[in-house]
Chain A
Amino acid sequence: MKLLTHNLLSSHVRGVGPRGFPLRLQATEVRINPVEFNPDFVARMIPKLHLVEVPKGPIEGYEHDEKFLRQMHHVLLEVDVLEGTLQCPESGRLFPISRGIPNMLLSDEETET
């Protein structure tokens, strides 16, 4: 699971709503995959994300800051979580990540009506 995906995921446990984001990530096994750097892609993706912790760096004119974009590129696309857990920040419910795939299925009682 890449961290870009993590940024799109949100807990859907009943009653949690928007407080289900961001899921707390605990990674036990991680792999780094080189991905071709596309500054345009990263620059345009950033506004779509809901970045809670912004890495230290300029906020204005970030599109032209290659160092910053490379950092973001690495974090979002090259870090692959193979084993670990995601935790709903509101309910504490754990979702396992196994072989790079998070399992977000809930039981019937847990899902929203």
Chain B
Amino acid sequence: MSDIQEATNQLLDVNLHENWSSIQVTESGPRSESEHLQVTIGATVPTGFEQTAADEVREKLGSSCKISKDRGKIYFDISVESLAQVHCLRSVDNLFVVVKEFKDYQFKETKEEVLKDFEELAGKLPWSDPLKVWKINTNFKKKKTKRKKINQNTGKEKINNGQGDKIDETDGKKGFTNNTLDSHILDYYENPAIKEEISTLVGDDLASYKDEKDESSKEETHPKMLKFRVTCNRAGEKHCFSSNEAARDFGGAVQDYFKWKADMTNFDVEVLLNIHDSEIVVGIALTEESLHRRNITHFGPTTLRSTLAYGMLRLCAPQPTDIIVDPMCGTGAIPIEGATEWSNCYHIAGDNNPLAVDRAANNISSLLTKSQIKEGEVSWGLPIDAVQWDICNLPLRTGTVDIIVTDMPFGKRMGSKKRNWNLYPACLREMSRVCRPGTGRAALLTQDKKCFTKALSGMGHVWRKVHTVWVNIGGLHAAVYLLKRTPQAFVHPSEQDGERTPW
């Protein structure tokens, strides 16, 4: 954890504690219970990186996680004061607060009975605490964005994202229509440079929340007229109902219970009904839009999710002053995530395509501009640079790179499968040259697993595969290969006696 983050976290704790004790002086009793409110938070993460996300939660929040069988989801408990820090997690796509979890829900035989059960369920759930958390969360976001609520565009994406029956869990083809406006909104409170403000903000928020409670004690049981929708995700082969039916009937009952207005696109509260075989989780969404495009303002044709970039970097366990290179950086998603989160390392983004390098440089500038907003006139630099180069002939000194993280051309949208047969071995060779022997490591993402495995099989003397993470990229089954560089020094082919170095 960087010094900035550590200091900010301490500040966060201190501020909230002060706030809590000052509140206690003025009022006592049930008031103090809210501050100790413990809730279960659910987070969606890129499939395959559940453990990495769990590690981040443990590191930054001190909570242990439960990894759900419903792939791509983790659950952890926090006290409501830590909500701001939860939003700063870099490995999660979406967040929600759990209303209730059913580990082994008993479905009745017929569709009518099952749907009737869902209707009756709505009135029996413990909504109170989760709604408190939702409210704090909404106020927190309002203050941060200083803009109007998210517009129709995001609402439409929700329709595409949430519903539909699924036999296998898929990450879904998240709409690539996120515009730069939305990215900026989320980026703003994501940036570690502004965490300091968050600490006072949550403090203020809890205080103002108390005031609101003062005004109307009836607020809890009858919240003001809110608009809501239900999003149902269903996976499993033995269900006799569809996600649409469940969402409709459950939603109807929720509407009756709360007297909220149903609105599919312009909603305040999004109720989640996640059904995976016999596991049901009812939740309330805390993020209106996926966090995964946070750092990128200039998109390219195959921009990687920031959460995935974070996961890949974390797999390599970066140490202070490590030199981290992405030799095929595209829009620079990986180095940018790296420079933000591991600012005590040095990051280099490289690509042969001038458009790509240009976009990467623009994304880096945008990042600098954002930290400028907070820091004032001073423009702080970041430990990141961009170079235009050819991966097969890297202009880097031998053995100087500690970590290589890259998204290799899948051969679908970029490059071709045929080209990969020559490209992959050449890449692995050149990467082995620049990578530091013994301690160096690489995390390489590719969908062309066959080609990669073949290319790797001839390189056992320099690369050792230590781990494979199976991931889902827009419906494609891809893999992240974690490689360790063997201690063997790179030998230039011309220096060998015409024979291959023995393994």
Using Cβ atoms and an 8 Å threshold, which residues of chain B touch A72?
none
Within 8 A of B (CB), among A1-33: 1-2, 4-5, 8-12, 17-18, 20-21, 33
Tell me which of A10, A11, A80 contacts B381 (CB under 8 A): A80
Within 8 A of B (CB), among A37-83: 38, 40-41, 44-45, 48, 50, 77-78, 80
B379 and A10 form a contact (CB under 8 A): no
A11 and B320 form a contact (CB under 8 A): no
Given contacts A41-B320, A45-B321, A99-B361, A50 and B389 within 8 Å (CB-CB) = no
Query: In chain A, what residue has the closest Cβ to B390?
Result: A105
Using Cβ atoms and an 8 Å threshold, which residues of chain A touch B388?
101-105
Task: Please indicate which of the listed interface residues A5, A8, A10, A36 has the most CB atoms of chain B within 10 Å of its own CB.
Answer: A8
Given contacts A8-B348, A40-B320, A44-B320, A34 and B387 within 8 Å (CB-CB) = no
B380 and A50 form a contact (CB under 8 A): no
Q: Is A100 in contact with chain B by the CB < 8 A criterion?
A: yes
B389 and A101 form a contact (CB under 8 A): no
A35 and B380 form a contact (CB under 8 A): yes
A106 and B390 form a contact (CB under 8 A): yes
Q: Is A111 in contact with chain B by the CB < 8 A criterion?
A: yes
Within 8 A of A (CB), among B378-398: 378-383, 385-390, 392-398
Using Cβ atoms and an 8 Å threshold, which residues of chain A touch B378?
34
Using Cβ atoms and an 8 Å threshold, which residues of chain B touch A77?
381, 383
Q: How far apart are the CA atoms of A93 and B336 in the complex, in Å?
A: 31
A10 and B395 form a contact (CB under 8 A): yes
Using Cβ atoms and an 8 Å threshold, which residues of chain A touch B386?
100-101
Interface size on B, residues (CB 8 A): 33
Tell me which of A33, A101, A103 contacts B379 (CB under 8 A): A33
Tell me which of B321, B352, B383, B389 contacts A44 (CB under 8 A): B321
Using Cβ atoms and an 8 Å threshold, which residues of chain B touch A99?
361
Using Cβ atoms and an 8 Å threshold, which residues of chain A touch B393?
12, 106, 111-112
Q: Is B344 in contact with chain A by the CB < 8 A criterion?
A: yes
Query: In chain A, what residue has the closest Cβ to B400?
Result: A8
Within 8 A of A (CB), among B402-430: none
Using Cβ atoms and an 8 Å threshold, which residues of chain B touch A102?
387-388
Query: In chain B, what residue has the closest Cβ to A47?
Result: B321
A34 and B385 form a contact (CB under 8 A): no
Q: How far apart are the CA atoms of A8 and B392 in the complex, in Å?
A: 17
Task: Please indicate which of the listed interface residues A9, A20, A77 has the most CB atoms of chain B within 10 Å of its own CB.
Answer: A9
Q: Is B122 in contact with chain A by the CB < 8 A criterion?
A: no
Query: In chain A, what residue has the closest Cβ to B401?
Result: A8
Within 8 A of A (CB), among B349-365: 352, 354, 357, 361
Q: Is B99 in contact with chain A by the CB < 8 A criterion?
A: no
Using Cβ atoms and an 8 Å threshold, which residues of chain B touch A1?
385, 387
Using Cβ atoms and an 8 Å threshold, which residues of chain A touch B238?
none
B361 and A8 form a contact (CB under 8 A): no
Given contacts A34-B378, A35-B380, A105-B352, A11 and B385 within 8 Å (CB-CB) = no
Using Cβ atoms and an 8 Å threshold, which residues of chain B touch A9?
387, 395-397
Tell me which of B357, B390, B396 contacts A10 (CB under 8 A): B396
CB distance from A92 to the nearest CB of B (A): 15
Given contacts A8-B323, A102-B388, A104-B387, A35 and B381 within 8 Å (CB-CB) = yes
Q: A1-B385, A12-B395, A80-B381 are in contact. List 8 more A-B contacts (CB 8 A).
A: A8-B396, A8-B400, A10-B396, A21-B397, A35-B382, A40-B344, A45-B321, A112-B393
